[in-house]
Amino acid sequence: MPEANPAAVSFLANRRSRPAKTLTTPVPTRDQLKDLLTIAARTPDHGKLEPWRFIVLETTALKRLAETIPHYCADLDPEKTAKLVAQFANADLAVAVIASPKPSEKIPEIEQTLSAGAVAMNLLSAALAAGWGANWLSGWISHHRPWREEHLNLAANEWIAGFIHIGTERMAPPERPRPDLSNIVTWVES
């Protein structure tokens, strides 16, 4: 039986995201981020297909992406557009976790998708465990195929599992309600 790790259990029991808009500098150095990405990639992956990859967006890239967004938002409420722009314009570091499914006769694409979500969760947890503030965001633009192909060079079969914003927290958010286990657990006795 593996040895109990009370610190890890306590971290997982209490972990929570820090809203991206409350994050500031400093952000992890490239070496620190490589450590977090190494942990993130240590994720269950049926068939060892590595159906995911990372795009690290540093400040200048984030500002450049922010400028592209209004061109895709002609039909969007201006307030929503401004919120999307701010997600990138005000950020100092975000990692785009890219779901990059591989052709496979054995591993269904949905399992590769789940693995990409697990990578994003692992990166979020690794960043929080290392003492950074972090937040998993998508935003409408992340599902916009022409935008992600033109500005993040995604292939046609790739998509964005999420942007993991990482930085220094200015304030810890209040706890939010958590699921009531009685609504989501079924015990099967026989």
Ligand X SMILES: Cc1cc2nc3c(=O)[nH]c(=O)nc-3n(C[C@H](O)[C@H](O)[C@H](O)COP(=O)(O)O)c2cc1C
Beta carbon nearer to ligand X, 5 or 138? 138
* Shortest Å, Cβ 157 to ligand X: 19
Task: Please work out, in degrees rounded to the nearest 5, the angle formed at the alpha carbon of residue 47 by the alpha carbons of 43 and 49.
Answer: 70
* Shortest Å, Cβ 3 to ligand X: 26
What are the CB-based long-range contacts (under 8 Å, 24+) for 100-103?
100/50, 100/51, 100/52, 100/53, 100/155, 100/157, 100/158, 101/51, 101/157, 101/158, 102/49, 102/50, 102/51
* Shortest Å, Cβ 183 to ligand X: 17
Binding to ligand X (CB under 6 A): which residues in 122-141?
135-139
Collapsing DSSP states into helix, strand and coil, what is residue 134? strand
Q: 78-117 mask for ligand X (x: CB under 6 A)?
A: ----------------------------------------
Beta carbon nearer to ligand X, 17 or 43? 17
Collapsing DSSP states into helix, strand and coil, what is residue 16? coil
Residues binding ligand X: number (CB under 6 A): 9
Beta carbon nearer to ligand X, 34 or 170? 170
Residue nearest to ligand X (CB): 17
CA gap 68, 47 in Å, rounded:
37
Q: Is 5 exposed, middle or buried (0-12, 13-18, 19+ CB in 10 A)?
A: exposed
Q: Any contact of residue 17 with ligand X (CB under 6 A)?
A: yes
Q: Which residues bind ligand X (CB under 6 A)?
A: 16-17, 135-139, 162, 176
